[in-house]
Amino acid sequence: MKILQLIVFSLLSITLHAQTNITDSLFINKCLSLMNMENPQRKIAVLQEVKAYTIKGDEETLLKAANVLFYMGMPIESDSIYLATAQKYPNGNAAQTVEYSKIIKMEGNSSKVLATYNKWVKHFPDKGENKELYENARAHVAVTYAKERNYVQANKWLATIKDTQLVATTNIDIADLALNNNDTISAIASMETGIKIISSLSGDDFKEFRLRYLMKYADFLYHLKRYEQALTVISDAYSQAENKTAEQERLYANILLANNKSKEAMVLLSGLLKKGKGDEKLLVDLKNAYLKVNGNVSGYDAYIQPLIDSMKITSRAGLDLQMLDEKAPSFSLRVLNGNTVSLEDLKGKIVILDFWATWCGPCKASFPAMKSAMNRYAADSSVVFLFIDCMERVKDPSNMISNFLSKNEYPFKVLLDSESIVADQYGIKGIPNKIIIDKNGVIRFRIVGFEDGTDAAVEKLSAMIEQVRKG
C-alpha cells in the first residue's frame, strides 16, 4: 500500500497542514507529541487518539487519520483504516484509490492489467478530478506493454498522457527496459523522446530534476558504449550540479576512463577514496588509471596509502566524543526460520543491531559493508551481528527476506520485529539504524542512515567495536 498512501498523503497534505478546525489541529498536534516521546507505549496512545478522533466515521476524517498514521511511520495501522474506509464507502475516494493501487501493483500480463484498468475506470469514470491517479495508471499500462516488448502499444498509451514530465520519465523507464531486453533501437527512441522533453524544461525549479535525468542519460549512453556522447552529456550536467553525489562522481570517472582520460579519472577516484566512498571496484579502477597514466604500477601502493590513511582518520575522528551511555532494553525475538534470540543470552559480548526493512533502499545499500564487517570479525566469537527486520509494510515479509538473503548471499541472522515493538523500545524513528551494545548491555554508539562507501563504513564500524572493547 506504500504507493497508495504516498499518493493520498500528497492529495490531503494541504488539508492536514492547514488544520482548518480546532479538532484537526488538536488531533494532529497530540499525535505528533506522543510519537516524539520515548515511551514504548506511544503507538497505543496514538491509536487511542485516532479512535476518539474518528468516532463520527465519516470518510474525510478517516482518511485524515489514516494519513497521519502513515506520516508517523505506522503504515500497517494506516492501511487497516484505509481499507476499512474503502469498504464502508465503496464509491468514495478511498475505494477509488484502493482499486487504483491494484493496477499499479500488478505485474506481468498486460491483458490482466488492462482489464483491471478498464474495470476501475468504468466504476470510477475520469471526471477531471484526481488527474494524477489516472495519468499514473495509464503510464503503468504503457510500462506493462513495454515489459512484453510491445512498444507500439506502449507508445499508444503514452500518447494518452497529458503530463509532459510523466511522459518523459515513463519514456526513460521504458528505455531502460528495452535496453535490458537488447532492443536497442526502441531503447534509443524512448530515451531520446524523454530527454528531449526534459531538456526543454527551463528555469531553476526544474534544474535538479533536469540534471538528475541528464546523468541518467549519460549512464544510458555509457552502457551503449557511446562514450564520446556520454562524456559530452555528463560534462555539461556535472558542471551545473551544485551538490555532486558520490554516484555521479563515480559515473563521471567511469566515462572518463572509457574515453582514455585516465588522469582526470584518477583525480575523481582518488577523491572518492579519500572521502570514504571507495570499494573493491573503485580500487581496481584507480589502479588501472594509475597504470595508464604512469605506464606501470610502481609506486601505486605509496600513492594510495595516504588516501586510505586519510579515510581511516576521518572515519575514526571523534568517536570517543560520540560514545553513549544508555541501558539497552531487553528483548527476545524470533529468528527467521529459527528459534528465538534474547539480549540476555548475549551478555559478555559486543552486539551490533542493524534495524532495517525490505523496502528500505539505504538499508540494503549498507549490507555489502555489513557483510565485510562480519567477515572481519568472523573468527571473533565475542562480536555478534543481528539484523532486526522492522517497520514492514506487509504483515509477513518472511519469504521476501529469505529470497533477498539468498539472492545476495548474505549470511545474516535476521530477527523478526513484526510489530516494531523492539524498534520502538530502542527509539528507532528511521532506518537504517545500527546500534552497538557493549558486553555489559549498554548502548555505546548509534549510526543512523548510510552515506559512506563500503571501505569507510567498515572502518567506522570496526573503530566503534574496538572503542567499545576498550571500554
Each domain of the chain, given as residue ranges in start order, spans: 2-100, 322-470
Task: Check whether 3 has a pLDDT greater than 70.
Answer: no
The widest CA-to-CA distance across the chain, in whole angstroms, is: 78
Residues sharing a CB contact under 8 Å with residue 7, sequence separation 6 or more, in sequence order: 97, 100, 132, 133, 136
Q: Which CATH number fits domain 322-470: 2.40.340.10, 3.40.190.10, 3.40.30.10, 3.30.70.2190?
A: 3.40.30.10
Q: Is 265 exposed, middle or buried (0-12, 13-18, 19+ CB in 10 A)?
A: buried
Is the pLDDT higher at 306 or at 129?
306
Q: 289-306: per-residue pLDDT in tens?
A: 999 999 999 999 999 999
pLDDT of residue 2: 43
pLDDT of residue 230: 97
Task: Check whether 222 has a pLDDT greater than 90.
Answer: yes
Residues across the chain? 471
- Cα–Cα distance list, 322 to 298, 326, 440 (Å): 40, 12, 18
Task: Check whether 7 has a pLDDT greater than 70.
Answer: no
Could you tell me how far CA 294 lies from the centroid of its own chain? 40
Going by pLDDT thresholds of 50, 70 and 90, the confidence category of residue 41 is: confident
Sequence-ordered strand ranges (E) for 254-361: 326-327, 332-335, 340-342, 350-356
Overall average pLDDT of the 151-180 stretch: 96
Q: Is 185 exposed, middle or buried (0-12, 13-18, 19+ CB in 10 A)?
A: exposed
pLDDT of residue 10: 44
Amino acid type, 309 = D
Report whether 319 contacts 467 (CB < 8 A): yes
- Residue 242 carries which DSSP code? S
pLDDT of residue 68: 85
Mean pLDDT of the chain: 89
pLDDT of residue 385: 97
